[in-house]
Amino acid sequence: MRLRTLSLAAASGTALLAAGLLPAHASAAAPKSAQEGTVSAADLLAKVTSCSQISSGKYKTDEETSATVPVCGKNGAVFWKADMDIDCDGQRTTNCNEDRDPWFQADTAFHQSDGKPLKAETLPYVVVPSTSGIWNYSNAGIKGGGVVAVIYNNKVEYAVVGDTGPSQIIGEASYATAKALGIDPDPATGGADSGVTYILFKNSKVSPIESHSAAVSLGDQLAKQFLANN
């Protein structure tokens, strides 16, 4: 779970598929590039041009910024538009460890099917704000392992809900998510200042959570439903 707040400037529709329908094997390495699935970034973005706010307040993107980001509701999904800070927590790997990440924590809010923390370096996942008076993600049908379409620079990357972060800050994803989208994944100096859209599909769940191929398969189906229902 995230306790730190990283400033990039300073650091320089409800759908649920049975688990049996999903591929059970997990990808061994982080995806190298994104346009995943068959639904384009432009088609998804066309459905999130306006916001019907479902959060009680708004979130900051970094500790010192003002709260400007609402959580918005759509049929079968919630979304927000923010920056991307880099989460490198979970299992220690070559690029995600205490030496590379000053804020490293050896755990994630949600775990693999074997009980171990997730691997931020190889698994695309998104961080959701911890429950607060602003918003309760679980009450909105968002759960660990839920599918997220992450859109940046006309690319779509499918990820899972894998960790929780500060209760008043939004806009964070794993090393692997950033790398796949062409964003600098360095946990200390990387990330994107803006331009990232996160679409979280309600009541979805990838099983096992560590299978990126399962997230892509389910994400593509849910994205098509999202276009049809909005």
**pLDDT tens by residue, 127-149:** 999 999 999 999 999 999 999 99
What is the residue extent of each domain of the chain? 8-229
Closest C-alpha to 31, from 210, 155, 183, 212:
212
For range 207-225, the mean pLDDT: 98
196 vs 8, more confident: 196
Question: Can you give 22-88 as a three-state secondary structure string?
Answer: CCCCCCCCCCCCCCCCCCCHHHHHCCCCCCCECCCCCEECCCCCCCCECCEEECCEEEEEEEEEEEC
* C-alpha pair distances (Å), 207 with each of 4, 30, 78, 214, 218: 29, 18, 21, 7, 10
Distance CA(61)–CA(74), nearest Å, equals: 22
Query: In terms of residues, how long is the chain?
Result: 230
CATH number for region 8-229: 2.40.40.10
Q: Inform me whether the pLDDT recorded for 150 exceeds 60.
A: yes
**pLDDT tens by residue, 17-41:** 333 333 333 334 545 556 799 999 9
Is residue 69 within 8 Å of residue 168, measured between CB atoms?
A: no
